[in-house]
């Protein structure tokens, strides 16, 4: 039962990543692309956690945590750059 | 692992996947930037929260000892997602992007 749920969830997260990728390529403005990258890293984090359950190892957890941290930093840097034209003044 | 725990883990994983997908659907389909910001900042946070809870339940029952380090991801995302959404919304306001309720957003 867990195996089926995990396979369905992996497909759903893959679809979610494809939709974000579509928005990343299409996005009318650069802000849409920043939101799409934000979405992509959150989904990558979720996918790593689900894959960790499937592979029965806690190894993927550290990768998910690092992706969550670096993703926030990159989104903050992008937004800062869009707002001020510079990251560190 | 008993039936009830399996049911709990499967339901949480599935709910997380559905919420992640709904967030991405909102990102792809909604008409302007401020609406599109809702998908990633709310639905996906709930989705990854569900998935991390499922991971906690699964590894706690499997190892026999409580496994709480997935709480780190939940706490970190709950703290940082509003901040990044606020920054991105400020950038969008600053660029004066088209808005749906002003009628100038292309469908």
Instruction: Evaluate whether residue A79 is within a structural domain.
Output: yes
Mean per-residue pLDDT over chain B, rounded: 88
CB atoms within 10 A of CB A45: 28
Sequence ranges of the domains in chain B: 3-97
pLDDT reading at B106 higher than 70: no
Lookup: tokens for B73 = 């991801």
- A46's CB contacts (< 8 A; 6+ apart) are A13, B16, B17, B20, B44, B47, B48, B51
What is the reported pTM? 0.89
Chain B interface, mutation test: which of A36, A37, A38, A69, most B Cβ atoms within 10 Å?
A38
The domain of A74 spans 2-84
Q: What ipTM, to 2 d.p.? A: 0.89
- Is residue A89 situated within a structural domain? no
Q: What is the DSSP letter of A1?
A: -
Tell me the C-alpha distance between B50 and B64, whole Å: 21
pLDDT score of A87 more than 80: no
Which residue on chain B is closest to A43 by alpha carbon?
Answer: B20
Instruction: Locate the chain B residue with the closest alpha carbon to A56.
Output: B59
Nearest residue to A8 via CA among B27, B8, B26, B18: B18
Q: What is the pLDDT of residue B33?
A: 87
Residue B73 has its nearest CB partner, among A58, A68, A82, at A68
Q: Quick: pLDDT tens for A22-38.
A: 999 987 889 999 999 99
- C-alpha closest to that of B70 among A6, A71, A7, A48: A48
Q: Specify if A10 maps to a domain.
A: yes
């Amino acid at each position: 039962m867990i195996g089926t749920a995990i396979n369905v969830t992996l497909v759903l997260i893959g679809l979610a990543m494809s939709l974000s990728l579509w928005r990343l390529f299409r996005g009318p403005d650069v802000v849409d692309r920043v939101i799409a990258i934000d979405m992509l890293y959150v989904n990558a984090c979720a996918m790593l956690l689900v894959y960790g359950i499937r592979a029965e190892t806690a190894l993927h957890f550290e990768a998910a945590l690092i992706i969550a941290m670096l993703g926030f930093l990159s989104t903050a840097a992008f937004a800062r750059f869009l707002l001020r034209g510079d990251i560190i003044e | 692992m008993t039936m009830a725990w399996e049911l709990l883990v499967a339901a949480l994983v599935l709910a997380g996947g559905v919420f992640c997908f709904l967030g991405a659907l909102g990102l792809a389909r909604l008409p302007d930037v401020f609406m599109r910001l809702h998908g990633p900042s709310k639905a996906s946070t709930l989705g990854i929260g569900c998935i991390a809870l499922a991971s906690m339940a699964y590894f706690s029952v499997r190892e026999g000892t409580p496994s709480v380090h997935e709480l780190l991801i939940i706490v970190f995302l709950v703290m940082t997602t509003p901040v990044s959404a606020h920054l991105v919304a400020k950038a969008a306001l600053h660029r004066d992007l088209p808005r749906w309720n002003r009628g100038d957003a292309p469908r």
